[in-house]
Amino acid sequence: MAELDDDELLDALGVDVAPLKVSSHTPREERIIAGFEDILRFHQAHGRAPQHGEGRDIFERLYAVRLDQLRKLPEAQTLLAALDGPGLLSGAAAPVDVDALDEDALLAELGISETAVPNDVNVLRHVRSSTEKRAAEEIADRRSCADFDQFQPLFEQVEQDLKSGHRMTQRFGRNTSIARGDYFILGGQLAHVAEVGETIKAPNGESDARLRVIYANGTESNLLRRSLQRALYKDETGRRLSEPEVGPLFGDAPEPDDIETGTIYVLRSLSSDPFVAEHRELIHKIGVTGGKVETRIAAAEKDATYLLADVEVVATYKLHNLNRTRLENIFHRLFGAAQLDLTIEDRFGHPVKPREWFLVPLHVIDEAVQHIRDGSITDVVYDPNSARLVSYG
């Protein structure tokens, strides 16, 4: 058999050799496509096109500006037709509320430098070069928060604190510090600083750090601390949330929700549920009662609040002149990230998700009570990764 060259051999095997496709798009067209793909991702996440308005966060408003610019580009209709399944380019262009946008963020997103000619506003750029990486550091695109269920109870508690007056909003001033555990309002959206990375040097020589910021709409970003500071300072509605006021938990003057003598109790479930049984030494219910604990738990096996099972009392703490609601709120705020995610059916077959069970070691609960007694509870936060209380900062 005569030797076959490579092409003949592949042909004999029935392999169709197709030449590698070489992109026919110009750099400008590649930037337009990349910019539109960001808008498509927003549409996929929210089920609608990005919109203008002061009530929208800065990232949505930037995407809305970009979409307006794409609608004005004659070449975009043809270039993006195959991608535009939702028909975003055919929608009517809404008026741009430029005054409501951060100037630096808007210019960076549109690809306009400070020396650009004014008419260049119609030129859309989305260059992923080393020069524009710095702009990306400023904007830090948001993405879906995979573990948002751990943070949602915290946001719910913060909103309750604001409504009840236990937290106050404060105007964000220049050079104001940002630390782990802080809450802010940015672009009308609640934001929580969940993590602060190692200190790094910014291009200007000043110190900076990468943050993990969680937003109340279930997204997160990893922007730099100085970027968040600038955004808060430039946002006229940007606010810092104060720490919750513990209030007169043990004061002499009684309040409407005070109980003369009360007990903080910690329970352990005797449920046969596989997950509960495996983590029995770690799963605890924390409650406050003005009566006898034994009376409170007498019918635990019939109550979904107690996981429809008997419980054992593993710790009690006697307190005087305490405000029950505030005290329970403190525990929910402190251990919210470690709340037990378990749904059971009540006696009528309805799903119930108990809220007062936490994956927290008993000695940490004891430490938290000591912090409540000495008034330092607002200085600590529970770290579920290390299973201990850590100081803010």
What pLDDT does residue 288 have?
A: 86
| Residue 307 Rama label (left phi>0; alpha psi -120 to 50; beta) | left
CB 32 within 8 A of CB 126: yes
CB 308 within 8 A of CB 261: no
What pLDDT does residue 100 have?
A: 46
Provide DSSP, 58-86: HHHHHHHHHHHHHHH-HHHHHHTTTT-TT
366 domain residue, yes or no: yes
Rounded distance between C-alpha atoms, residue 208 and residue 196, angstroms? 10
Helix, strand, coil % (nearest 5) of the chain? 35, 20, 40
CB 381 within 8 A of CB 180: yes
Tens digit of each residue's pLDDT, the chain (393 residues): 456 666 666 566 665 555 544 457 787 888 888 888 888 888 888 888 988 877 777 778 878 888 988 888 888 888 888 888 888 888 644 444 444 445 555 454 444 444 443 444 444 444 444 444 444 444 456 788 888 888 888 888 888 878 777 778 888 765 467 888 889 988 888 999 999 888 888 777 778 889 999 998 888 998 888 888 888 888 888 888 887 654 444 444 445 555 556 788 999 999 888 888 899 999 999 988 878 888 889 888 888 888 889 999 999 988 766 677 778 778 888 888 888 888 877 767 777 777 789 999 999 999 998 888 777 787 788 888 888 888 754
* Residue span of the structural domain in which 126 resides: 27-139
CB atoms within 10 A of CB 256: 6
Residues 230, 220, 68, 35, CA torsion sign: positive
What pLDDT does residue 141 have?
A: 64
Tokens 């290390």 correspond to 386
8 domain residue, yes or no: no
Number of domains in the chain: 3
Rounded distance between C-alpha atoms, residue 288 and residue 294, angstroms? 12
262 domain residue, yes or no: yes
SS3 for 100?
A: helix
86 domain residue, yes or no: yes
Provide DSSP, 283-331: EEEEEEESS-HHHHTTTGGG-GGGTTS-EEEEEEEEEEEEEHHHHHHHH
SS3 for 192?
A: strand
Is the same domain home to 355 and 370?
yes
182 domain residue, yes or no: yes
Is the same domain home to 264 and 346?
yes
Q: In the chain, what is the straight-line distance between the N-terminal and C-terminal CA atoms, in Å?
A: 78
Is the same domain home to 120 and 162?
no
Is the same domain home to 279 and 370?
yes
Helix axes 103-110, 225-234, angle to 10 degrees: 120
- Of the residues 112, 139, 166, which one is the last residue of a structural domain? 139
List, in order, residues 6 or more apart from 231 with CB less than 8 Å away.
58, 102, 105, 186, 238
What pLDDT does residue 265 have?
A: 92
- Of the residues 139, 155, 174, which one is the last residue of a structural domain? 139
1 domain residue, yes or no: no
98 domain residue, yes or no: yes
Provide DSSP, 8-66: HHHHHTT---PPPPPP---HHHHHHHHHHHHHHHHHHHHSS----STTS-HHHHHHHHH
Is the same domain home to 135 and 159?
no
What pLDDT does residue 251 have?
A: 45
3 domain residue, yes or no: no
